[in-house]
Amino acid sequence: MRAGIAVLAKHLADTLSGGGVRVNVVAPGYFDTGRVHKRIEALIVDEGLNRDAAIHRVASANPFGRIGTADELAELVGIIVGDRARYLNGTTIVIDGGSSSLVI
């Protein structure tokens, strides 16, 4: 999580909220994306792991023992941008299955 992004989002939320604009940050952990695939490939090349072992290494960093799905991330974002979250503004939501040590 980049602190500068969270600070900027909070500033923008404070500045723009009077005009009906909400600004929030979603801070994802490991999800089944190209970036994670590159991490897995790097483990295969750099450490000589086979694909299953590399995936297990990445997934085991999460308390759920798995990588998040794009659908899980999309569902959260869908809620945040919709009317159900109309009072949510200027916040950072970490969605990482509990793997980070960040406490807010």
Based on the domain organization, do 97 and 79 belong to the same domain?
Answer: yes
Average pLDDT rounded to a whole number, residues 3-26: 94
Q: What is the pTM of this model?
A: 0.81
Task: Determine the Cα–Cα distance for residues 104 and 102; give it in Å rounded to an integer.
Answer: 7
Based on the domain organization, do 49 and 37 belong to the same domain?
Answer: yes
Q: Which domain holds residue 99?
A: 1-29+68-104
Give the number of domains in the chain. Answer: 2
Average pLDDT rounded to a whole number, residues 63-70: 95
Per-residue pLDDT tens for 26-59? 999 999 999 999 999 999 999 999 999 999 999 9
Based on the domain organization, do 75 and 46 belong to the same domain?
Answer: no
pLDDT value at 104 more than 90? no
Based on the domain organization, do 14 and 42 belong to the same domain?
Answer: no
Report the chain's mean pLDDT, rounded to a whole number: 93
pLDDT of residue 3: 87
Instruction: Tell me how far CA of residue 32 lies from CA of 42, 49, 79, in angstroms.
Output: 15, 19, 20
CB atoms within 10 A of CB 93: 16
Given the structure tokens 């923008």, which residue do they identify? 12
Based on the domain organization, do 6 and 55 belong to the same domain?
Answer: no
